[in-house]
Amino acid sequence: MNTSDGLELKPVGHVRCPIISTPQPEYNWQGIVSEIVIDHSLAPGLAGLERYSHIIVTYWAHLATNPTDMALSVRYKGNPKLPMVGVFASRSPYRPNPLGHKVARLLEIRGNTLKVEGLDALDGTPVLDIKPFIPHYDSPEGATAPLWES
Q: Is residue 75 part of a domain?
A: yes
Same domain, yes or no: 32 and 18: yes
Q: Is residue 146 part of a domain?
A: no
Q: Which domain holds residue 83?
A: 67-92
Same domain, yes or no: 58 and 106: yes
Pairwise CA distance, residues 49 & 109, whole Å: 8
- Model confidence over 80-139: pLDDT tens digits? 888 899 989 888 888 888 899 999 999 999 999 999 999 999 999 999 999 999 998 998
This prediction's pTM: 0.87
Same domain, yes or no: 104 and 55: yes
Residue 73: pLDDT above 80? Answer: yes
Q: What is the pLDDT of residue 13?
A: 98
The residue among 105, 135, 111 whose CA lies nearest residue 42 is 111
Pairwise CA distance, residues 82 & 68, whole Å: 23
Domain CATH code at residue 44: 2.40.30.70
Torsion of CA 71, 76, 78, 79, to 10 degrees: -150
Same domain, yes or no: 106 and 53: yes
Q: What percent of the chain has pLDDT over 90?
A: 51
Q: Is residue 144 part of a domain?
A: no
